[in-house]
Amino acid sequence: MKKMLRALGALTVAASAFAVTSSSAFAADKVVLGVAIPTADHGFTGGIVWWVNQAKKDLEKAHPDLKVIVKTAASAPEQANQLQDLVTVNKINALVIFPQESASLTQPVAQVKKKGVYVTVVDRGLTDTSAQDAYVAGDNTAFGKVPAEYLAKVMNGKGDIVALRGIPTTLDNERWAAFESVIKQHPDMKILDAKYANWNRDDAFKVMQDYLTRFKHIDAVWAADDDMMIGVLKAIDQAKRTDVKIVFGGAGSKEAVRRVMDDDRRVKADVSYSPKFIYDAIKLTAEARLKGDKLPATTIIPSVLITKENAKQFYFPNSPF
């Protein structure tokens, strides 16, 4: 009898050990995905925050073995500190980050990667790509090229343009170079001036006021961002100028797309660069890691022309952007 009890005891211990082992294996297979993004300090980042929360909701519902932890930061140092917390406190094994800044976040992200965390960087690239496993972004070349080609077509290759750029970054440089290279192919099209307006409505309003004061005739404006486009339109309306026939923004905000859908007299088209790419980046990363797979080193989300014919597919009324 004692031998039987000892045998049963051994089986119980073995079964318990198996249960612990199985539980550990299950826990190891669980993907804990940290998402680090800027706070919503303007329309586009407001859209980023909204799409991140949408991704968390949709993906956790679809995948019981996935946990998504979201952190928002108002500065680069705050975001760097959050990365440490995500690793040490939340025990993440995957990270999707939209960096506050490229240079100052490169080393903190590299340290996360060294701890075995799979890293996907979104939009604002790091200064050292070895600090990441994957990069997901919109097509910045197309973001500049598509508006220029559209303007050249509707203006019949002639007319005067003013431009508003974003913030001095490699991203903005890429967009501007693409835009300028197309316009240069049309000798009768002239860029009167191009100034930075920081992707900001108020700054764009001031820059456009300056343009309207200095230039007595303007055919079209490339605002290079939908927030800036609103500031530009306000300045034109306030000055009661009727010579500006076309205002082209960028990024596919719901206000811009709505104007395109409603056949606005000045906003006839836009170019997509939706903050939804953060949703796509999280989804791609989460589903790859759940399978034990990796993403391609670089994934570019196309930037395409939005017109009345296709505007509905780019219209997201619940998004703040």
pLDDT at 5 > cutoff 60: no
Question: Residue 33's pLDDT is what?
Answer: 98
pLDDT of residue 44: 84
pLDDT of residue 21 exceeding 50, the answer is no
Mean pLDDT across 258-276: 95
| For the chain, percent of residues with pLDDT exceeding 90 | 79
Per-residue b/e over 299-313, b at no fewer than 16 CB within 10 Å? bebebbebeeeebee
Lowest-pLDDT range of 115-119, 135-139, 212-216: 135-139
Q: 152 with 264, same domain?
A: yes
**Residue 316: band (very low, low, confident or very high) from pLDDT cuts 50, 70, 90:** confident
Mean pLDDT of the chain: 90
Q: Specify the number of domains making up the chain.
A: 2
Asked if 212 and 240 count as a contact pair (C-beta separation under 8 A), the reply is no
The answer to the question of residue 310 being in a domain is no
**Residue 43, pLDDT score:** 78
Q: Residues near 33 by Cβ (< 8 Å), separated by ≥ 6?
A: 66, 67, 68, 69, 92, 93, 94, 95, 96, 282, 285, 286, 289
| % of the chain surpassing 70 pLDDT | 91
Which region among 16-20, 56-60, 135-139, 177-181 has the lowest average model confidence (pLDDT)? 16-20
Range of the structural domain that residue 292 is part of: 30-138+275-302
Q: How confident is the model at residue 3 (pLDDT cuts 50, 70, 90)?
A: very low
Residues 193 and 129 in one domain: no
The reported pLDDT for the residue numbered 25 is 32
**pLDDT tens-digit profile of 107-116?**
999 999 999 9
Domain-embedded: residue 211: yes
CATH of residue 202's domain is 3.40.50.2300
Same domain, 291 and 171: no
Checking if the pLDDT of 164 tops 60, the result is yes
My answer on whether 116 and 169 are in the same domain is no
Q: Is 316 within a domain?
A: no
Give the pair of three-digit tokens for residue 170: 């490699």
Average pLDDT for 185-190: 98
**Mean pLDDT computed over 86-91:** 96
Full-model pTM: 0.75
**Residue 169: pLDDT band with limits 50, 70, 90:** confident
8 class by beta-carbon count within 10 Å (0-12 exposed, 13-18 middle, 19+ buried): exposed
Confidence of residue 2 (pLDDT cuts 50, 70, 90): very low
- Assess whether 165 and 199 both reside in one domain: yes
What is the structure's pLDDT at 12? 39
